[in-house]
Amino acid sequence: MAIIYEKRDRIAYLTLNRPEVMNALDPETILELEEASQDFNNDPNSWVLILTGAGDKAFCAGADLKKLIPAMTSGEMKMELSSKRFFSDIYKPIIAAINGFCLAGGTEMIQGTDIRIAAEHATFGLAEPRWGLIPIGGSHVRLPRQIPWCRAMEILLIGDRISAQEALQIGLINKVVPLPELMPTAKRIAERICENGPLAVRTIKEIAVRALSMPMEQGFILESLMGQRVFASEDAKEGPRAFMEKRKPVFQGR
């Protein structure tokens, strides 16, 4: 299988499973990735997704050039499939556990996640222009919004790799940890998120993502409208009640 998709309690785990090619993306992997991510999105019992790669060398080294590029340049693979923005329609939290090379499509993929933890040996980069190509997984839109403009353009235009520490310094990732601590750290963060109200968490992410493409005043209106739905929910009653009763809230996501 090109991916491994598992669910444990409230956390889903999605592992890119092509370690022999550094978890590179081919058409089959992209389709399986889309199917698994939509299953996560539609499952009310899955609250957080952890995304990682198989092995200890690579998270994802980008496109499988032997399969993906010929399919795209020949027209056999529709461009809208290959350029679909990773996780763009998912408003549940996604944590990237970056276990090594995170290049080209790998760097694009993590831009669709919310919290990013990298192993110390991880490296990042968008080398597409060095081969006469461009990144088509959303980096032109996402990267300049996520890190300073000049650093984003340096990564996009030059195509050099950067280390995990440099990625941390520019704000592309949240933490750098030794490899043995990578998945435990990601799991702890996921478990912490799962302690919060799932409806509130999903709404927070949806507002933040949608407001990026809105004028500020429209974003405020969206926040108010969606906030009304949360404050009318059962979870919004359970939270204050649990606080008054000095116990942990039991949220239902409704």
245 is catalytic: no
Q: Which candidate in 20, 28, 35, 108 is catalytic? A: 108
223 is catalytic: no
Crossing angle for the helix pair 216-231 and 198-211, nearest 10 degrees?
A: 170
Q: Which candidate in 28, 34, 128, 195 is catalytic? A: 128
- Which DSSP letter does residue 84 get? P
Ramachandran sector of residue 75 (left: φ over 0; alpha: ψ -120 to 50; beta: rest): left
For 90, residues 6+ apart whose C-beta sits below 8 A from its C-beta are 37, 40, 41, 49, 112
Find out whether 54 and 19 touch, Cβ atoms under 8 Å.
Answer: yes
Per-residue tokens: 146: 């996520």
For 184, residues 6+ apart whose C-beta sits below 8 A from its C-beta are none
Per-residue tokens: 233: 């929910």
Active site residues: 108, 128
